[in-house]
Amino acid sequence: MLNFFVHRALLPAEATVGNNILLEHYALGIVMHPNVTFGDDCRIYHHVTIAGEMPVGAPERVVIGDRVTIGVNAVIMPRPYRGLSIGDDAVIGAGAVVTGDVPPRAVVVGVPGRVLRIRKHCELSDNSIDYE
Q: Does residue 130 fall inside a structural domain?
A: no
As a whole number, mean pLDDT of residues 98-106 equals: 96
For residue 85, what are the domain limits?
2-123
Please indicate, yes or no, if residue 78 is contained in any of the structural domains.
Answer: yes
Active site residues: 33
Please provide the distance, in angstroms rounded to a whole number, between the alpha carbons at the two ends of the chain: 28
Q: Does some domain include residue 131?
A: no
- The answer as to whether 32 is a domain residue is yes
| Residue 1 in this model has a pLDDT that exceeds 90 | no
Q: Could you read off the pLDDT of 15-72 as tens digits, one per residue?
A: 888 999 888 887 788 888 999 999 999 999 999 999 988 888 889 999 999 999 999 9
Whether 48 is covered by a domain: the verdict is: yes
Q: How many domains does the chain have?
A: 1
Type of residue found at 16? T
Indicate the pTM of the whole model. Answer: 0.84
128 domain residue, yes or no: no
**Euclidean distance between CA atoms 70 and 41, whole angstroms:** 12
Q: Could you tell me if residue 99 is inside a domain?
A: yes
Q: For residue 19, tell me if it sits in a domain.
A: yes
Q: Is 11 helix (H, G, I), strand (E, B) or coil?
A: coil
CATH number of domain containing 14: 2.160.10.10
